[in-house]
Amino acid sequence: MIQRRFRQVDVFTTVPYQGNPVAVVLDGDGLTSEQMQAIARWTNLSETTFVCAPATPAADYRLRIFCPGSELPFAGHPTIGSAHAVLASGYAPKRPGELLQECGVGLVRLRTGGDGIALALPQARMRPADDDVRAAVEKAIGAPLLAAPVAVDLGIVWLTGQVASGELLRTLRPSMEGIAAVARRAQTNGITLFGMEGETPEVRSFAPHEGTPEDPVCGSGNGAVACYLRQRRGAQDYRARQGRCVGRDGHIRITHDGDTIWLAGQAVSCIEGSIVA
């Protein structure tokens, strides 16, 4: 076993302990998949990442992303948090102001700057849910949806739906058994809900059957909401908020550049040191 550089980064905030934490092992090369999974179970966070040498010459690094029970091809807040950790460690990008991450969905572009780190969402695949799935979601959350939910596949798949308002969203006390059952039925990783407060979406993401009953501030969940909203109202930039129901206060910025949706946020390191693995 050797000492490996380690950071725990809080994402979508500039205030420590108000965002969504991700554990980042900066020296991932040499670890087996089984070792990575064991470390992810031990950190007990929604995601733990491992920064490795890329197989693609143009990429800055390859990122492997694990939740406590499985590996993910892509996730939003681990991508931003890992980029923050890589830059904070002293890494000089191959292209100033940009990073290119290799991961399970291919190459993900990132932009870096004083207003945070932005990632270009992978191309989404979207499929509407049927009436039975809508009814099951509404029963699980105890509230009606404004329209049929949509499964949005960004590498991680969120069944995404809108309720009447952000205020209503914050009052919901969903059945985790019901959420898990309908997410499995719809062949998704979880359910992301949102409600509008003026022009600001309030977001909540639930993935109990993946080991995360409620994700504090979810990058891919907000990406799913961005794809859902773009399909319905076109390309409109906005800022979203998530986490107040679990004692956090995360902020996410969505912008559009042609066909690309950019998801951005700030990040701050909370723990720096090493682990033995």
CA distance 274 to 191: 34
CA distance 5 to 101: 19
Strand, helix or coil at 243? coil
Which member of 47, 102, 210, 214 is catalytic?
Answer: 47
CA distance 274 to 23: 11
Of 181, 180, 186, the residue nearest 211 (C-alpha): 180
Do 192 and 205 form a contact (C-beta atoms < 8 A)? yes
**Angle between helices 176-185 and 131-141 in degrees, nearest 10:** 160
Q: Does the CA dihedral 117-65-209-123 come out positive or negative?
A: positive
CA distance 256 to 120: 9
Do 220 and 154 form a contact (C-beta atoms < 8 A)? yes
47 in active site: yes
> Which residues are identified as catalytic?
47
